[in-house]
Chains A and B, each alone.
Chain A
Amino acid sequence: MTTAHYVVLSAILFSLGVLGVLIRRNAIIVFMSVEMMLNASNLAFVAFARQAGNLDGQTIAFFVMTVAAAEVVVGLAIIMTIFRTRRSASIDEPNLLKY
């Protein structure tokens, strides 16, 4: 398989993640879509590492996974804190910072 196949797959997954962020309202599903985008970029990193013939891309993908894990922990903690005070997991509800 050529690198283009893998990178096109990664672009499709990234676009589906973008679509999820745009059309879903549940904060947890929006968060999953962000994870999907991170995974798609990881796939592109790994595919390009194979194209370039060195392991730097795989190392960067590894760092992306670490950052994604930290981001998930903090993000889910924020979602839970908002749910506790507002009793809702919808991203349209928390608008108090506007006023």
Chain B
Amino acid sequence: MNLDVIASAQVGSNGGAEIVFWVCAVIAVSGAVGMLVSRKPVHSALFVAMTMVSLAVLYLALDAPFLGMVQIIVYTGAVMMLFVFVIMIVGVDASDSLVETIRGQRWPAIAFTAGFAALLIGAIVNGLQGAPDPSLALANAADGGNVQGIARLIFTKYALAFEITSALLITAALGAVLLTHRERHTPKATQEDLSRKRFREPGHPGNLPPAGTYARHNAVDTPALLPDGSPVPESVPGPLHERGSVRPVNAGATDEVRSLAGGHTVITEDGGHVQQSDDFDNGPEAGDKP
């Protein structure tokens, strides 16, 4: 099997296993530290994913190819992506999360954790002194491979725990559905309802003219012109009004439009066409006829 080949290649040469361990350990610890110090939750999630991938490589080096693959599929593939989805819904607002609520709580917390880590590491190094050289080659070979060995244990010795796990997973799925389900108390508004509501309320029932309609420019700061040449202030987005950067309407052009709308056409010398002035270059190109 392919994974066994990878795992045995990493364990087989001792120097290779050492390099794998130190590289992955540094990546894993820096990922954990990155999760702690990054301000944005998305960055934290990606740092944790990095830690999980390096842990998967460490599992491969520890003669556990099945767990290594499951680690990549379940943790980086499913769990961390679920985190990222939830962050996209929830966590964008939470950039203030490095502020302390309880004043001065951070340094005691760091001191406590350092002491805890020192205790753990001391106990481990003390307890594992003179341990025999470990190897899983015999256990992995007993049933024809790592996957087969774990399968035999799951379905014989740990069969009850396995069944309970299935009940747990079903309960968790039901719980997630129940917790995120929202009951609709009012019927959903149809298109007809929305239309009636628009006409019942004061205001503009239809679409507002977009910026630049019938005007000289079609930039967003140019108010639309009504057929009589007067500007429509609502056609320009509100913030531009606030900032005072609405483009002023060209008075000459609007006067001409108004005069055209009032029936005072400008007759050209060569045959009754409406002459466009240079000021108003947005209309039909009637004056260009030969």
Using CB atoms and an 8 Å cutoff, list the residues of chain A in contact with chain B.
Answer: 1-9, 11-20, 22-26, 28-29, 31-33, 35-36, 39, 42-43, 46-47, 49-51, 53-56, 58-59, 61-63, 65-74, 76-81, 83-84, 87-90, 92
Q: Contact: A13 with B172, CB < 8 Å?
A: no
CA distance A55 to B98 in the complex (A): 42
Q: A9-B29, A25-B101 are in contact. Are A80 and B134 (CB under 8 A)?
A: no
With contacts A55-B149, A67-B165, A84-B182 known, what are 9 further pairs, Cβ within 8 A? A1-B17, A2-B134, A23-B106, A28-B41, A43-B58, A51-B134, A53-B134, A63-B162, A71-B172
Residues from chain B with a CB closer than 8 A to the CB of A70 are 168-169, 171-172
Binary per-residue interface labels of chain B (192-235) against chain A in the complex, 1 for a CB within 8 Å, 0 otherwise: 00000000000000000000000000000000000000000000
Residues from chain A with a CB closer than 8 A to the CB of B78 are 69
Using CB atoms and an 8 Å cutoff, list the residues of chain B in contact with chain A.
Answer: 17-18, 21, 25, 28-29, 32-33, 35-36, 41, 44-45, 48, 51-52, 55, 58-59, 61-64, 66-67, 70-71, 74-75, 78-79, 82-83, 86-87, 89-91, 93-94, 97-99, 101, 105-106, 109-110, 112-114, 116-117, 120-121, 124-125, 128-129, 131, 133-136, 138-140, 146, 149-150, 153-154, 157-158, 161-162, 165, 168-169, 171-173, 175-176, 179-180, 182
Q: Contact: A66 with B175, CB < 8 Å?
A: no
Q: Which of A2, A26, A31, A65 contacts B74 (CB 8 A)?
A: A65
Residues from chain B with a CB closer than 8 A to the CB of A58 are 64, 66-67, 146, 150
Residues from chain A with a CB closer than 8 A to the CB of B87 are 28
Majority DSSP secondary structure for residues of B touching A: helix
Q: Which of B41, B109, B173 contacts A26 (CB 8 A)?
A: B41
Residues from chain A with a CB closer than 8 A to the CB of B135 are 50, 53
Residues from chain B with a CB closer than 8 A to the CB of A25 are 97, 99, 101
Residues from chain B with a CB closer than 8 A to the CB of A7 are 124, 128
Majority DSSP secondary structure for residues of A touching B: helix
Residues from chain A with a CB closer than 8 A to the CB of B157 are 56, 59
CA distance A84 to B181 in the complex (A): 11
Residues from chain A with a CB closer than 8 A to the CB of B32 are 12-13, 16-17, 20, 36
Q: Which of A33, A54, A66, A76 contacts B168 (CB 8 A)?
A: A66
CA distance A79 to B89 in the complex (A): 11
CA distance A53 to B137 in the complex (A): 8
Residues from chain B with a CB closer than 8 A to the CB of A49 are 62, 64, 136
Q: A11-B121, A43-B55 are in contact. Are A36 and B35 (CB under 8 A)?
A: yes
Of chain B, the residue at the smallest CB distance from A82 is B90
The 4 closest A-B pairs by CB, nearest first: A70-B172, A15-B117, A77-B179, A22-B109
Q: Which of A18, A28, A69 contacts B86 (CB 8 A)?
A: A28
Q: Which of A12, A33, A63, A89 contacts B29 (CB 8 A)?
A: A12
Q: Within the complex, what minimum Cβ distance (angstroms) separates B284 from chain A?
A: 53
Q: Within the complex, what minimum Cβ distance (angstroms) separates B15 from chain A?
A: 11
Q: Contact: B90 with A80, CB < 8 Å?
A: yes
